[in-house]
Amino acid sequence: MSKTFYVTTPIYYVNDVPHIGHAYTTVAADVIARFRRLVGDRVFFLTGTDEHGQKIERVALASGEKPIELADRVVLRFKGLWEKLNIQNDDFIRTTEERHKKAVLELFRRVNSRGDIYLGEYEDWYCVFDETFWTETQLGGSRTCPDCGRPVERLKEESYFFRLSKYEKPLLEFYENNPDFVQPSFRKNEVVSFVRGGLRDLSISRTSFSWGIPIPDKPKHVIYVWFDALTNYITAAGFPEDTGRLEEIWPADIHLVGKDILRFHAVYWPAFLISAGLTPPRKVFAHGWWTVEGEKMSKSKGNVVDPYAVVDEFGADALRYFLLREVPFGLDGDFSRSALIGRINGDLANGLGNLVSRSLGLIEKYFQGKIPSPSSLEPIDARIQEKALVTSEQVEEAMNEVAFHKALGAIWDFIAFVNKYVDESAPWALGKSGNKERLGSVLWTLVESIRVIAILIYPFMPKSAETIWNKIGFPEPIESQSFTKAKEWGVVKSGWLIEKGAGLFPRLDDK
């Protein structure tokens, strides 16, 4: 039996409600999961929340709640958003769950039994906000956190350490043997030079706060946030239960992360796993960050984009499309209202929506809504068929490279090509002149193209794909289709009833 395809998002902190950056990774993971299902893989898609740590303890305290009350409240905002965005995750993990506590303590025990954990004392500059220690040389001007710019504080405490330094060589070997482990490739160089620069042992427990998983017999110590958080990926895969589930799911095929947390996933995480005798994940893909209207998104600027509001105004599919089309996955991008509206009007309304409505409108007008038969095909129709096949292959290749923008680019090239075909074959003129045979063949070719497009856009825009599917009267649900169907031609049958119905994407006023 082939291995289940396992895709993850980071688990999100519950000290704040979700923003557009969180939606980004989760949508990307959902698109990968839907695509793999379409290709025929068994898929396990995990997302969840990171609920322990000092930051969460502090925010809870400030709002007069217990940390778990804060987590219980905020987790609903995440779950609600995933529903609104039509995210089909197979599991949702919270680090406060019992199954996770068990997994973390077992990982700790295994790593410890390898002699990789010792008790020491930790002192360094600490950024409370990022929960990260920094060395003197890493600090920004006037002793600030190099990541967030906030002042750091000197912190010294008894701590358990993980012998990360011991894993310098094994990690470099691992990168060497798995050249595609870190993606995009320019990020790989960053990771390798970080490890080559020398690894310090890593503090993995804290005594300065108590909101975390306590170490047995050392109740002053709770497990430090990254050892706790990263373990989520194996918890949900069944670790440490011996049921065969872990073997079926692990290693993860791809961890999607933001560029800021790449180091934790590409250095610490494989080191923990190698130490515990487990296999590291197959791939870590680091995406870029969104600015908003050209500025860094921040609470103090008040420009944090609320994905709930965007979905309410523009719809889930428009947001899903925009996020993955606008920027090559891996690079930074800018989220702006006018760019979003531009995509909706240009690509969705004028491109896709227009193709569907004029094709189906003509079938209603000239064939009483019944798909006509392709009795008079010409070379120009064969060109559409060829282009459909090439497009499907391009999409498949792009998806294997995690290049969403390329996949969408190829699909929209095809849409433009088919729209041009409509103009060139002038079905209105054929209708007026009574050339029903040729008109029928053109319209049949259009419905067939629309069928292929619906399958290709399904991972990205599942609701729109389903709506189109229903409009063309396809008897089985779109979920039951496989990707190979996009490479076939001649699937729609004459005589099926179509329904033009309402427009897919109303044009918007950019005000």
Chain centroid to Cα 302, Å, comes to 25
Give 230 or 472: the residue with its C-beta nearer to ligand MSP: 230
Stretch that binds ligand MSP, among 274-282, 289-297, 434-442, 451-459 (CB under 6 A): 289-297
238 and 194 in contact (C-beta within 8 Å)?
Answer: no
Q: To the nearest whole angstrom, how small is the minimum distance from the Cβ of residue 343 to ligand MSP?
A: 18
Q: To the nearest whole angstrom, how small is the minimum distance from the Cβ of residue 297 to ligand MSP?
A: 5
Amino acid at the residue 344: I
Question: How far is 411 from 468, CA to CA, in rounded Å?
Answer: 15
Stretch that binds ligand MSP, among 10-18, 135-143, 374-382, 429-437 (CB under 6 A): 10-18
Question: How far is 24 from 122, CA to CA, in rounded Å?
Answer: 36
Q: Residue 117 — φ and ψ, nearest 5°?
A: -125, 135
Binding of residue 339 to ligand MSP (CB under 6 A): no
Tally of CA atoms within 13 A in the half-sphere of 342 that contains its CB: 7
Neighbours of 309 (CB within 10 A): 9
Neighbours of 86 (CB within 10 A): 17
Amino acid at the residue 138: Q
- Cβ density class 147-162: b for 16+ within 10 Å, e for less: eeeeebeebeebbbbb
Binding of residue 261 to ligand MSP (CB under 6 A): yes
Stretch that binds ligand MSP, among 120-128, 133-141, 254-262, 430-438 (CB under 6 A): 254-262
Question: How far is 500 from 356, CA to CA, in rounded Å?
Answer: 8
Q: To the nearest whole angstrom, how small is the minimum distance from the Cβ of residue 21 to ligand MSP?
A: 3
Give 331 or 380: the residue with its C-beta nearer to ligand MSP: 331
Q: To the nearest whole angstrom, how small is the minimum distance from the Cβ of residue 111 to ligand MSP?
A: 17
Give 295 or 393: the residue with its C-beta nearer to ligand MSP: 295
Q: To the nearest whole angstrom, how small is the minimum distance from the Cβ of residue 335 to ligand MSP?
A: 8
Binding of residue 329 to ligand MSP (CB under 6 A): no
Binding of residue 290 to ligand MSP (CB under 6 A): yes
Binding of residue 11 to ligand MSP (CB under 6 A): yes
Give the strands of the sheet with 214-215, arranged side by side: 205-206, 218-223, 214-215
Give the torsion through C-alpha atoms of 193, 158, 107, 176, to 10 deg: 10
Give 267 or 410: the residue with its C-beta nearer to ligand MSP: 267
The contacts of residue 256 (CB under 8 Å, 6+ apart) are: 7, 8, 9, 10, 25, 28, 29, 32, 285, 287
Q: Are strands 290-292 and 333-335 parallel, antiparallel or unpaired?
A: parallel
Q: Are strands 117-127 and 153-162 parallel, antiparallel or unpaired?
A: antiparallel
Footprint of ligand MSP on 215-244 (CB under 6 A): 229-230, 232
Stretch that binds ligand MSP, among 19-27, 73-81, 190-198, 368-376 (CB under 6 A): 19-27
Q: Residue 116 — φ and ψ, nearest 5°?
A: -100, 10
Give 232 or 392: the residue with its C-beta nearer to ligand MSP: 232
- Find residue 5's DSSP bridge partners: 43
- 21, 184, 330, 473: which one contacts ligand MSP (CB under 6 A)? 21
Q: To the nearest whole angstrom, how small is the minimum distance from the Cβ of residue 276 to ligand MSP?
A: 16
Q: Which residue is nearest to ligand MSP (CB)?
A: 258
Give the torsion through C-alpha atoms of 119, 125, 129, 132, to 10 deg: -50
Binding of residue 24 to ligand MSP (CB under 6 A): yes
Return the biggest CA–CA distance within the chain: 89
Q: To the nearest whole angstrom, how small is the minimum distance from the Cβ of residue 256 to ligand MSP?
A: 8
Give 260 or 364: the residue with its C-beta nearer to ligand MSP: 260
Give 125 or 290: the residue with its C-beta nearer to ligand MSP: 290
Segment (H or E) for 9:
strand 5-13
- CB-count burial class (<10 Å; 0-12, 13-18, 19+) for 289: middle
- 6, 12, 268, 367: which one contacts ligand MSP (CB under 6 A)? 12
- 5, 6, 7, 25: which one contacts ligand MSP (CB under 6 A)? 25
Give 25 or 449: the residue with its C-beta nearer to ligand MSP: 25
Question: How far is 250 from 282, CA to CA, in rounded Å?
Answer: 9
Give 194 or 289: the residue with its C-beta nearer to ligand MSP: 289
- 260, 413, 437, 479: which one contacts ligand MSP (CB under 6 A)? 260
Give 298 or 482: the residue with its C-beta nearer to ligand MSP: 298
Give 55 or 110: the residue with its C-beta nearer to ligand MSP: 55
Q: To the nearest whole angstrom, how small is the minimum distance from the Cβ of residue 43 to ligand MSP?
A: 20
Give 191 or 371: the residue with its C-beta nearer to ligand MSP: 191
Q: Residue 99 — φ and ψ, nearest 5°?
A: -60, -35
With CB under 6 A as the rule, give the number of residues binding ligand MSP.
Answer: 19
Q: Write the interaction track for ligand MSP spanning residues 44-63; mark x where CB under 6 A is met and - where it is not.
A: ------x-------------
Neighbours of 470 (CB within 10 A): 15
Binding of residue 466 to ligand MSP (CB under 6 A): no
The footprint of ligand MSP (CB under 6 A) covers 10-13, 21-22, 24-25, 50, 229-230, 232, 257-258, 260-261, 289-290, 297
